[in-house]
Structure 1
């Protein structure tokens, strides 16, 4: 099993290209189930989750091809993928596939909309929280689906096709919003989704669906209106830049110091985290090429932040921020409101010397602790990269185990950081 080895103490200087967003690419790929024409996606990141979703979609009959490199491109450039679901050959998503990635449960929406039936395994537990699918089920029922739970599977039917309706989500859910949005595009009549997620990835999906012929208004607000159409066609769409990767590298620079251009990043997608960094004393500059992050000689002010749905501070940057605050000049507080178990990285950060105490969903971080390298273990995707950030700041050598978590969501992380002066390498086996 691969490991990441880091020798800390190096500042970061240079350019880091920002990849396409994993959280946008996955629902966009799933949207290919809605049409018998080809959907072409540009700027798709090379990630374990993307590869796994190719496998899952092929089970339903989706063919895919990846364009070769073009002049001037390298491994840091996103790939262009063609997806074609001319015929859906299977409406069952089996447990052995769905259990590998929760986002694959979202296929239930397009399968119901196009085929009138779907049998999708319940995704099971999650290391960072329960993430129930009740919202999905009740929402699809609101669009005319008949749903039963049988032997661990959600069995859904819409014998007369999906019908427009009004769905009020009891809690903001990105996954449920993605699923209902896709299902509503082929439903008869108008669908209104209230208390919808407002994340940029929802807007990106809506733009792609509209390019395919869908009629959608209000994406990016809490109320989305969809006027169903009889069929969708093919389209070409570019995946937006990854705001979580952007924030991660910004916090890495803030932690160890340096001057890095996050090439291709969009500051508009990550305003809350960038404002927090600026308030902590980090240089943040919007440029025509991306976002430039600098910290040269200045200390970090402590922060007090609560995670929240977009446009608030994202839970997917909470662990990275915690690593950064270990270097702050004072006491910071982070309150997690999205997932109940998303502090599992605390014990591993403590192995490096971090001083962190927990009180329920609130963490208190005493900054200024001297971090020292040690063997640590990743527990989930975002926790793993927080250990990378802490390892960059720690004295001596840090070895991070279970880095397959990193490969799910960060494209060539060690190469990108290494180009900017980090002493980091992947050790195979």
Structure 2
């Protein structure tokens, strides 16, 4: 177990470059096994989830090398094998192997995925999609068994709720299905466009990604001809933007797609942060005289649930009460008692609602990261606080943030990793 040790109170300045999107990467790696040729990605974030996915690939005789942001995957000698349950349970996104294995072999056996504990995240919409394509799904002893003995057939599928995971998983299963699949009420996140772009460049026929109706016409094979560059991580970008506004004296956040962050940056501007939004970067000046705001999380293009925790420490600088209404995961509140230990005036007065008021006395403390984004909020609060803050369960933070120690150090933060 590792912990982050933060000597807080230092002002931050300089520039930081955002890495590839975690939420794209964890779908693209399973997607690679659909190819009949080696696959190459660049701008791959150096996060624990990538290494765990490599372990899963290795169990199927799929070789991979990862160095300097480049990931090579060779699925040409892939075999069907039992996937390692420890790696599967370490990250929720391992469920993308359901769709990719089903698309590749017509069957998949996957242990129920693990990952962050942020409340119920059922996979019923994934299963609904697989069954519509002609698969039979059986759940037994914490394992999902999916078979399509007669092959997958295109179908019209309407998701009962917007789900990024189900949208991606159904696309993965449908790329080799016979005929055309029409997926309605699909999620619209940029990471879905990234996945579709990768598959289309290998010969898939996917139209409408980024809208609520996606059409997938099955093709017999996929072959990679070019390196796929992963889009910038909008959640990492939002985290650094909020940190820069909270504790910075002028920070340039580079390698961003501003259109992916509009709902987030609009709220920062509403607070009074004078953002300078450029073509592929955003400059955050020193921010003062901030006003409180109301935030309501929603599927893209709304305010991302993954950014409600990272923005929370910034809200403590506003002169008044800010309110966050969490509509995606109402139980995503495990950061609250930990932030309170640091002196943050934050409460959860009712289910799905968080209130934050001005806090003038941040102080170091020992706190625990319960999941990735909760950990990010603790790191930001620790950098704002006087004294020393220790964030235990640091693996959660390292799962989602590329080279976070190096990036923060280059911004003048005093932060180290230590054994807990």
**Range into which the TM-score falls when normalised by the shorter chain:** over 0.9
Q: How many residues align?
A: 418
Out of 96, 115, 119, which is 2:109 matched to?
Answer: 119
Contact kept, 8 Å, 1:11 with 1:253, in 2: the verdict is no
Residue 262 in structure 1 maps to residue 253 in structure 2 = yes
Residue 217 (structure 1) aligned with residue 207 (structure 2) = yes
> What's the offset of the Cα at 1:289?
4.9
User: Is this contact kept in 1: 2:343–2:362, CA < 8 A?
Assistant: yes
Give the superposition deviation at 1:101. Answer: 1.2
Three-state SS of the structure 2 residue aligned to 1:259 is strand
Match of 2:157 in 1: 167
Checking the alignment, whether the CA contact within 8 Å between 1:113 and 1:161 is kept in structure 2 is: no
**What is the TM-score normalised by the length of structure 1?**
0.94
SS in 1 for 2:177: coil
Q: For residues 381 and 179 of structure 1, do their structure 2 counterparts lie closer, same or farther at Cα, with a shift above 3 Å needed?
A: same
Alignment-derived partner of residue 422 in structure 1:
413
Relative to structure 1, the CA distance from residue 383 to residue 126 in structure 2 (aligned partners, 3 Å threshold; closer, same or farther) is closer
Aligned ranges for residues 8-407 of structure 1 at < 5 Å? 8-66=8-66, 79-123=69-113, 126-235=116-225, 236-296=227-287, 298-358=288-348, 359-407=350-398
Structure 1 stretches lacking a partner, 5+ long: 70-78
Shift of 1:173: 0.9
Structure 1 distance, partners of 2:19, 2:214, is 28
Structure 2 SS opposite 1:118: strand
Q: What whole-Å deviation, never above 9, does each CA across 1:252-311 have from its counterpart, x for those lacking one?
A: 011123211111111111111011111111121222451111224x22211100111100
Uncovered stretches (5+) of structure 2, i.e. residues with no partner: none
Alpha-carbon spacing, 1:9–1:94, altered in 2? closer, same or farther (3 Å):
closer
Q: Is the 8 A contact 2:92 2:115 kept in 1?
A: no
With 396-405 and 286-295 compared, the bigger mean Cα shift is at 286-295
Q: For 1:137 and 1:90, how far apart are their aligned partners in 2?
A: 21
TM-score by length of 2: 0.96
> How much has 1:124 moved relative to structure 2?
5.2
Could you tell me whether the CA contact under 8 Å between 1:194 and 1:223 is conserved in 2? yes
1:21-69, Cα deviation, whole Å (9 max, x unpaired): 11111111111111221111111011101000011122122111235x5
Instruction: Report the alpha carbon displacement of residue 395 of structure 1 after superposing the two structures with TM.
Output: 1.8
Equivalent-residue separation in structure 2 for 1:354 and 1:104 (angstroms): 35
Task: Tell me which moved more, 99-108 or 116-125.
Answer: 116-125
SS of alignment partner, residue 229 of structure 1: coil
The CA deviation at 1:335 is: 0.8
Deviation at 1:126, TM superposition (A): 4.8
Cα distance in 2 between the residues matched to 1:92 and 1:284: 49
* Partner Cα distance (1:396, 1:324) in 2: 19
SS at match of 2:76: coil
8 Å CA contact 2:36–2:221 kept in 1: the answer is no
Deviation at 1:94, TM superposition (A): 4.5
Partner SS, residue 175 of structure 1: helix
Distance 1:352 1:119 in 2: 44
Kept in 1, the 8 Å contact 2:257–2:280? The answer is no
